[in-house]
Each structure stands twice: as C-alpha cells, then as structure tokens.
Structure 1
Amino acid sequence: MFSSQTFFFAVVGDVHGHMHQMVSHLTAWEERSRRPLDFVLQVGDFEPHRHNADLATMAAPTKYRHLGDFAAYHQRRRRFPWPVYFIGGNHEPYGHLDLYPEGFALAPHCHYLGRSGVVELNGLRVAGLSGIHREATFCKSRPPLASMGDVSNKDFTFFNEEDVERVLALGRADVLLLHDWPSGIIPPEEAADFQGQRRGASHDLVGNAYARLLVDALQPRLVLCGHLHRRYAGTVQHPGGQRSLVRCLASVEQGAEAFAVFQCREGTLQEIAMWE
C-alpha cells in the first residue's frame, strides 16, 4: 500500500558514469518545481566504477571505458542528495557488483538492487532484474567470479533463468526496473520509428520475452527501462483489466529525455511534466 502522503520520485536512464550530470539535472528540477524528490530509481548502465580495477571488469570497447564520476561519491567527496536505487545493465563493474549478488550499498545514498531484488520505498514495492538477455546462456549459470580475466567480461552481463525465477517469486511489484525492454510493446503502426535503429532492426525484434514474462506475471503499475538510448511511452494491457505503464528512457548524455518524475498520491501513480 502506498504512503497516504504525496511524494515524488525520479527515474533516470543510462548514466554511463555521468553522476554529476544526473544530480545537476534533478536538483535543478527540484529548485524549479519547489518539490523535493524522495528517491531516485535508475535502470542500469549506472557504471559505478570506483577505480581502474573496477573499470577493467566492465564489458565495453576500449573507447567507451571511462572512469566516470562515481569515485567522488565512493570517496565521500560528494554525496547523492537522495537515495538512489539502481539495477545492473550490460556495462557495469560486475567484478565488484557480483561480490554482492543480492545487492548492497556502494556509497551513502547509493544502493544496488542485486541480480534480482526488491525494495519497499514509501510503501511502493520496487523490483528489479539486472543485465540483458542472451538465449545461448539463459539456462546456464554465470561463470564463477574467480574466472574473471580468463573468460569474457561480457559473460557476466546476461541474466539467466535463475535470476528471472527469483523475480517471479517476489509475487508482486508496483514498479519493475529492467535494463532491456520487454518484447511486444511496440505496435505495428509505430514500426517505422524503429526500423534499422540502434539494437532494433525491426519493431518486433525490440526487447526480450523474459522481460515481458515478468511484466505479465507481476503486472506492475509502472515498468521502467533503458538500454536503447531512446525515450518511449507504452502500455501493456493485462487480461484482468490491469494496465502497466511502460516508460523507456534515453541516456543522461542526451539530456531531458533521460529523466522522468512521478507523483504518488492517495494510492495513484502519475507521471508529471519535467518542465512545467
């Protein structure tokens, strides 16, 4: 049950280590709107690299490997103004994160939800699944962490059947955090918008069936995604009449399309304009 009090929370797309930019954008919104944020949810590719050793465990081409801003928060030279809860994407320092697969606090006000996890925030039940899908490894266990360096870093970026089953076992969620999109959310009339675009050769190939399975099973009020670096709003209609709003976000480097703010009030969940 939601808190009876009105509160606001923000959602952020792929950060890719640009924590200062994320904080600047959201604090500017608070100042303009004169509304405080209670917490922030983030949909993966947060890239909380503490140092170069973390960076070495990230799966990405060399040109995209940058230490980023997180060291300042880890060393407590800077502090997130609100609690931030994030899931893993496909460009994380899993050499560090997988030491705590059930989640942990990396720094003050910075919490990883784990490979699969749930947290209750002001009565809002938030579940998350880290990683992306690869069918060839879905039914297999990930390599042991001790093998990192001997196997590809990419092998640690995929979720598997066990991760999905753990999220299903949560029973319900008000909000579901995913990195990749659920399949089947793009109607045929919008196909042209996705033709040949990044990671989306065709609208019916966008997303994956296991993310969609979680949406259909948990029937959250709100599904939040990143990964494709584009903003998109959709809806999943469930057989019993329940609807899940789907909000996909761009990357922080792209600006305002990476952010959304929601208001919870008397049991309702509503997206509000960022620039009102």
Structure 2
Amino acid sequence: MAPESLLVVGVGDIHGRFHRVESWLDALAEARGRAVDLVLAVGDVEAFRHADDHRRKAAKRAMPAEFAEYADGVRTMKRPLYFIAGNNEDFEALHDSPEGLQLAPNVHYLGRAGLKVLNGLRVGYLSGIHAPRFYEQPLKRPRSLDTAKQAGYFRAPEVEKVATLRDVDLMLVHEWPRGLPQRAREQGEPPPGRTLPSYWIGNPLTRRLVETIHPKWVMCGHSHKAFAVALGGHGGRTPTRVACLDQAARPDESVFWMEFQGREVVCAGWGISGEVSWRAGQPWGLGALPRPSEPGPVEAGY
C-alpha cells in the first residue's frame, strides 16, 4: 500500500497577520481539493496580544496583532501551525521554553534549535539571525527592548546542536544561508522580471549548517523576498532545495506548498492557486518561482 500523502505549507514572515494566512490556507485547500495537513512558519510570526505592545519594535506597531483571539479561544487555528522564532517575536513569552511549547490550540513554537518529527517528517530548525557580537554570549532573559532584541540572535550552542542532525527532510531557518545569489548565477541567468539580491544577503553559519546536514529541503524568510536555488548535490548526493519566502502581505510568493508521498516531495507550488510549479525529477531554481506579479500595497517591512 502506498504511503498516505501529506500537504505541507510553508508561510513567510506572518508579522501578526493570522487572519489572512488562515484565509489563504482555506483557498489553497479548496484549490488542491484536499486538506492542509501541516503549516510551517519561518519566523517573525509575532504572536503578540496587542499591536501596541511595548515589546514590539516601533515600526511593527502598525502591523496587526491578531493572536489574542487564538490565545483567548475566540478563534481556533484550523490546522496545526508550527513556527520558529525570527528576530521579531514575543521573546518574553518564549524564553522559558527553548525546546518549544503550545501557545494556543494548533499553534506551536518549535523552540530555539533542534529537531521534531511532525506527521512522520524529520524537521530540523534554527530560530533567530546571526549577530557576531552576541554569538558567544549567554542568552539573557528578555526584560527590556534591548535584551528582547538580543533574544532574536542564535547562539553557538544552538548552532552546534543543529550541526549534529542527520537525515533531515526539511529544515527551517529564519535568515537565508549566505551565497544563494552566487549559486543562482552559477545555475543560469534569472528569468525575466527577476533580479538577484545582494551577494551579501544571508549568513555563513546557516550556509555551513546546510552543507553539514544536507537536508532535503530548506525554507527561510527574514529578507521578504521569494527565491529558489539548489545547494550541494556533489558526489552523487541529492541537492538541498532552498525556498525563501516573502513576508505574508500577498500570497503569491509568501506561501509555498509541498505534497509529500511518504518522506519525499512529489510536487510543489507557490501561492494559493494550487498550480504545480515543480515536480520530482525537475531541476530546482529560479525557474520554479511564480511569474512576478504586479506590485501592490505592502505594509511596513521588517
């Protein structure tokens, strides 16, 4: 008997926009004609109860803060959503649970670093971004805006923990691995309407983790830009396919879905139309991205 298939959806930086993400998942489920089994968010979820919470960065207080309805039981997330931390979170609420916790029914924080088995898939994860000044420093309790900011940086023991992982189906990181634009250039010119970001985007430690662990897939956020590139694949090894997600302002490039058969992805696509943009056996790169859409209004950024 063939293994049961799974529909797994990655979502870019939510920044408090839980309502629209739920509506997008409804639309995708209808388009694919099946239920969404698992939702994975790549950080900057911002599960705050109030938009003007003093712990949020000033630039973020114009963003919605809809999580209170889920925490208070007014609304319930329809599908299990698991998220890593970015560099904009309610770190005071997350601090005492570095191995993860459930914040509301069907809303789960994975933790700062490690591996969880979700629906039979081995999911590795590293929360936060790289700040060299704080990399070797101990993590402080986030009692102020300054220490809350520092909580959004990953530390050396967390990177070392992730580096020991093997046989990883999917890895979640917030900040891009360094060198993705260079790798994309090696694989060919960007398609019409696409430009390569700065070669300095991302961090080298996450890149080193990907090269050490060799996960089958990586999803990341933070830079609010969709990107697709394959890393590795030397010596007969299957390459790691990296999907970078835009922030959750519009669904076309901030939603990336994968249909698994067992532990292997058989097809994948962007947005909520249900249209397949990649199938197993095809090359993975910028050509797998959706056609660039006309720019629309986007809320304040990071």
TM-score between both structures, scaled by the size of structure 1: 0.88
Amino acid aligned to 1:265: Q
Residues 183 and 206 of structure 1 are in contact (CA less than 8 Å); yes or no, is this contact kept in structure 2?
A: yes
The yes-or-no answer on 1:26 pairing with 2:25 is: yes
- Residue number in structure 1 paired with 2:220: 225
Higher helix share: 1
Q: Report sequence identity in percent.
A: 34
- Residue number in structure 2 paired with 1:37: 36
Residues 121 and 263 of structure 2 are in contact (CA less than 8 Å); yes or no, is this contact kept in structure 1?
A: no
Residues 4 and 267 of structure 1 are in contact (CA less than 8 Å); yes or no, is this contact kept in structure 2?
A: no
Residues 173 and 220 of structure 2 are in contact (CA less than 8 Å); yes or no, is this contact kept in structure 1?
A: yes
Residues 43 and 84 of structure 2 are in contact (CA less than 8 Å); yes or no, is this contact kept in structure 1?
A: yes
Residues 17 and 64 of structure 2 are in contact (CA less than 8 Å); yes or no, is this contact kept in structure 1?
A: no
The 5-angstrom pairing of residues 248-263 of structure 1 reads: 248-263=244-259
The yes-or-no answer on 1:68 pairing with 2:70 is: no
Q: Higher mean Cα deviation, 94-103 or 236-245?
A: 236-245
| 3-state SS in 2 of match to 1:257 | coil
Change (3 A) 1:123 1:172: same
Q: Higher mean Cα deviation, 175-184 or 110-119?
A: 110-119
| 3-state SS in 1 of match to 2:15 | coil
Per-residue CA deviations over 1:173-217 (Å, capped at 9, x if unaligned) read 11000000001222273699245xxxxxx32x1111111111111
- Residue number in structure 2 paired with 1:108: 105
Following TM superposition, by how much is the alpha carbon of 1:123 offset from its aligned partner in structure 2, in angstroms?
A: 1.7
Structure 1: gaps of 5 or more residues? 196-201
Amino acid aligned to 1:12: V
| 3-state SS in 2 of match to 1:24 | helix
| 3-state SS in 2 of match to 1:71 | helix
Residues 216 and 238 of structure 1 are in contact (CA less than 8 Å); yes or no, is this contact kept in structure 2?
A: no
Residues 91 and 157 of structure 1 are in contact (CA less than 8 Å); yes or no, is this contact kept in structure 2?
A: yes
Counterpart-to-counterpart distance in 2, 1:229 and 1:78: 27
Amino acid aligned to 2:148: N
Per-residue CA deviations over 1:43-96 (Å, capped at 9, x if unaligned) read 00000113479x3333x2x13224511001101111111110100001101011
- Residue number in structure 2 paired with 1:157: 152
Counterpart-to-counterpart distance in 2, 1:99 and 1:229: 29
Following TM superposition, by how much is the alpha carbon of 1:267 offset from its aligned partner in structure 2, in angstroms?
A: 4.0
- Residue number in structure 2 paired with 1:198: none
Structure 2: gaps of 5 or more residues? 276-302
For residue 165 of structure 2, the aligned residue among 148, 162, 170 is 170
Counterpart-to-counterpart distance in 2, 1:90 and 1:141: 17
Amino acid aligned to 1:7: L
| 3-state SS in 2 of match to 1:25 | helix
Q: Flag as ranges the 4+ runs of structure 1 deviating above 6 A.
A: none
Amino acid aligned to 1:168: A
Change (3 A) 1:182 1:136: same
Residues 49 and 67 of structure 1 are in contact (CA less than 8 Å); yes or no, is this contact kept in structure 2?
A: no
For residue 242 of structure 1, the aligned residue among 212, 219, 238 is 238
Following TM superposition, by how much is the alpha carbon of 1:170 offset from its aligned partner in structure 2, in angstroms?
A: 3.0
Change (3 A) 1:34 1:213: same
Following TM superposition, by how much is the alpha carbon of 1:233 offset from its aligned partner in structure 2, in angstroms?
A: 0.6
- Residue number in structure 1 paired with 2:292: none
TM-score between both structures, scaled by the size of structure 2: 0.81
Amino acid aligned to 2:248: V
The 5-angstrom pairing of residues 78-97 of structure 1 reads: 78-97=75-94
Give the length in aligned residue pairs: 262
Counterpart-to-counterpart distance in 1, 2:21 and 2:51: 22
Counterpart-to-counterpart distance in 1, 2:145 and 2:29: 46
Counterpart-to-counterpart distance in 2, 1:171 and 1:225: 19
- Residue number in structure 2 paired with 1:199: none
Following TM superposition, by how much is the alpha carbon of 1:38 offset from its aligned partner in structure 2, in angstroms?
A: 0.7
- Residue number in structure 2 paired with 1:121: 118
- Residue number in structure 2 paired with 1:12: 11
Cα RMSD, aligned residues only: 2.1
- Residue number in structure 2 paired with 1:210: 205
